[in-house]
């Protein structure tokens, strides 16, 4: 979720808007029990956002296997949390410059799990896996 154009440039407004949008999404998904969670509790908030993102990544894997009518969803679904955290919080890369020399490389030796890498790269903003 990205802030509207009128809020861009104001870092504090961007952060508050981002958190409120995610809070509404989390309330919608998990029910009103989460409405008591303080948006300022960064650790709890980030955990819930990460959990929701990992769940979405898993569903993208399921959809891709279903659309292709082929593939092995087990490994990508099981390793979705690892892939998400690597691409979101650990690895350094630039989707606009995929040949950047200082980028981190992700080597996946389990070929049957390549869908995990493809989905993570797509969500990270890469236009091609070439």
Q: What is the DSSP string of 1-42?
A: ----GGGTT-HHHHHHHHHHHHHHHHHHHH-GGGGGS-TT-H
The pTM of the full predicted model, rounded to 2 decimals, is 0.74
* pLDDT at residue number 42: 75
pLDDT for residue 112 is more than 70 = yes
**What is the per-residue pLDDT for 41?**
73
Give the angle subtended at the CA of 125 by the CAs of 119 and 127, to the nearest 5°.
Answer: 85
- Binning pLDDT at 50, 70 and 90, where does residue 29 land? confident
Two structure tokens written together for 64: 């891709």
Looking at residue 39, what is its pLDDT? 59
- Dump pLDDT digits (tens) for 5-14: 444 455 445 6
């Amino acid at each position: 979720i990205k802030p509207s154009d009128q809020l861009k440039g104001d870092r504090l407004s961007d952060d508050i808007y981002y958190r409120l949008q995610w809070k509404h999404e989390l309330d919608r998904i998990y029910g009103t029990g989460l409405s008591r969670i303080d948006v300022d509790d960064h650790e709890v908030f980030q955990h819930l956002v990460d959990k929701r993102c990992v769940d979405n990544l898993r569903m993208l894997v399921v959809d891709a296997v279903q659309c292709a009518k082929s593939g092995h969803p087990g490994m990508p679904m099981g390793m979705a949390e690892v892939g998400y955290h690597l691409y979101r919080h650990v690895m350094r890369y630039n989707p606009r410059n995929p040949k950047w020399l200082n980028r981190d490389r992700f080597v996946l030796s389990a070929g049957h799990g390549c869908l995990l890498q493809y989905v993570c790269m797509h969500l990270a903003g890469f236009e091609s896996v070439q």
